[in-house]
Amino acid sequence: MTINQLSNLPNKSVMSPLDEPSMANVSDIQIQSKEDVFDAYVAHGGRVEASHWMPDAYRKTLIRQVSQHAHSEIVGMLPEANWLISAPSLERKQILIAKVQDEAGHGLYLYSVAETLGAKRKDLTDALIDGRAKYSSVFNYPSLTWADVGTIGWLVDGAAILNQVTLCETSYGPYARAMIRICREESFHQRQGFEALYRMFAEGTDAQRSMIQDSINRWWAPSLMMFGPPDTDSNNSAQSMKWGIKIKTNDTLRQEFVNTIAKQSRIIGVTIPDPSLKWCPVSGNYVFTQPDWEEFYEVIGGRGMCNQDRLENIRRARDDNEWVMDAAEKYEAQQGNYAAGDPNHA
């Protein structure tokens, strides 16, 4: 059976508790079969499209993940956008403008992906502003110096790209395809951050080198947290892996990140702020200290340094631009009237 043939099976959403008991039993067997077929399809690498039948839980999990991802892109513009007017050269300003604009585009792609699953962008934004939706904890830390712009590119975008490259293979087609372009742009973000730090460290003053090291000291642990809690505490991971929504576990990705960054830090000349960081030839990995997971839960619980400020920015942007949404809705309604043959429609 193919995924398209699933649509010939009874849909769970049309079942009613008032069904005849005998029919309910038959349908239960078929429904079980329908979900089994779906699970087998994704387990064998099948790609799910918006028009396909999918279990409600799969849809809800995806909407949650994709909208959190979209929110992270939008909120993620804020720490660096503060530095647009203070960039030290025209070249750096152009690079930073391009990067921040890329992040806005990533947010738009991802909200569109969520819309293919039946979500409404306005509802998703409201959930973000009301504090009901999550976004990456890393964006609740302040960017205090110009070096933070380079560090965010190197560490934060570096962490993001590791996760996002795996999502190019995720089971939901629109999400996977959106990630291909996003990853190309994230690659540029990571490289510009690395290059900014490399040049400043090699050509700058002692004060600039200290500024870079201080920046890395502050962003290292929040970057490790970007992969989410340890696998043992990650409630949604097992099911997301089974459905092919998630390809690698939080701990696997975190280890890959540490391995990559530990090597790159030597090229720049900076020190990773972890005295336990050590290469282990047996495992083929760097041993490292876990971040403070209590701090992580505080930050995702809304009690980080910048949570209120970030959401206030998003709320202000929504309110300031409400007139655009109103105009768009009125225009859409007029088009609907026109299509329906409204004689009063000019």
Burial class (CB in 10 A: 0-12, 13-18, 19+), 184: exposed
80 binds Fe ion (CB under 5 A): no
49-78 positions binding Fe ion, by CB under 5 A: 73
Binding mask 96-135 for Fe ion (x = CB under 5 A): -------x--x-----------------------------
Count of residues in contact with Fe ion, rule CB under 5 A: 6
User: SS3 helix, strand, coil % of the chain, rounded to 5?
Assistant: 70, 0, 30
Question: Which residue, 146 or 154, is less far from Fe ion as judged by CB?
Answer: 154
Question: Which residue, 97 or 202, is less far from Fe ion as judged by CB?
Answer: 97
Minimum CB distance to Fe ion, residue 110 (Å):
9
Minimum CB distance to Fe ion, residue 1 (Å):
37
Q: Is 279 helix (H, G, I), strand (E, B) or coil?
A: strand
Q: How many CA atoms within 13 Å lie on the side-chain side of 124?
A: 27
Piece in contact with Fe ion (CB under 5 A), picked from 172-180, 189-197, 215-223, 296-304: 189-197
| Degrees, nearest 5: CA angle 334-337-343 | 110
Minimum CB distance to Fe ion, residue 72 (Å):
8
Minimum CB distance to Fe ion, residue 101 (Å):
11
Piece in contact with Fe ion (CB under 5 A), picked from 9-17, 62-70, 184-192, 299-307: 184-192
157 binds Fe ion (CB under 5 A): yes
Residues 107 and 110: their CA atoms lie apart, in Å, by: 5
Burial class (CB in 10 A: 0-12, 13-18, 19+), 207: exposed
**DSSP symbols for 21-40:** HHHHHHHHHHHHHHHHHHHH
Q: Where on the chain is the footprint of Fe ion (CB under 5 A)?
A: 73, 103, 106, 157, 186, 189
